[in-house]
Amino acid sequence: MAVIEEEARRTGTTVGTVGQLHVFPGGINIIPERVEFVLDLRDLNAEVRDRVWNMIATQAEKIAASRNVRLMMERLQDMPPVLCSEVVKQAAERACKQLGYPPFWLPSGAAHDGVQLAPLCPIGMIFVRSQDGVSHNPAEWSTKEDCAAGAAVLYHTVWQLAQVE
């Protein structure tokens, strides 16, 4: 796992997350006979993401060989990054300023519904602030006020986009 974190951090833009880890047989004091995990590797640039994947794979192979461990890697999914539309981003920025919220740009490799919608229309995302910056975690929590602010920004963004001829 340290290799994943190290290689992802090296780029300054890549995010690597291991959200699932299965250890067999799973006893507290038993050396596992098999470990399976899923790596979610994201970057706004597919070439950078693929380079990081190759570095992780190379280092994992070296570690496995040095420990006489069999390693199997499989790419389960390879989605190209989908960038948000400049028109949508500008409308969201105007909505934030109109409501008195300072715009904050957050690059996100998160696909959400954007991957499916991008071929059909311009996309954008508005994120609601989470307490202590915790996201994608059971401890994630947003205040009613922050949720209302996000909804207001969304409303004003859509309103502005509807006015474009």
DSSP string, 29-85: TS--SEEEEEEEEE-SSHHHHHHHHHHHHHHHHHHHHHTT----------PPP-PPP
Structural domain including 30 reads 2-66
| Whether residue 158 sits in one domain with residue 97 | yes
Instruction: Give the range with max mean pLDDT: 47-51, 76-80, 160-164.
Output: 47-51
Q: What is the pLDDT of residues 96-146, one digit of tens each?
A: 999 999 999 887 766 678 888 888 999 999 999 999 989 888 999 999 999
CB 106 within 8 A of CB 127: yes
Question: Position 31: which residue type?
Answer: I
| Whether residue 151 sits in one domain with residue 96 | yes
Domain count, the chain: 2
| Whether residue 159 sits in one domain with residue 99 | yes
* pLDDT given at position 101: 96
Which CATH number goes with the domain that contains 151?
1.10.150
| Whether residue 149 sits in one domain with residue 110 | yes
Calpha distance 149→159 (Å, rounded): 15
| Whether residue 106 sits in one domain with residue 145 | yes
Length of the chain: 165
| Whether residue 124 sits in one domain with residue 152 | yes
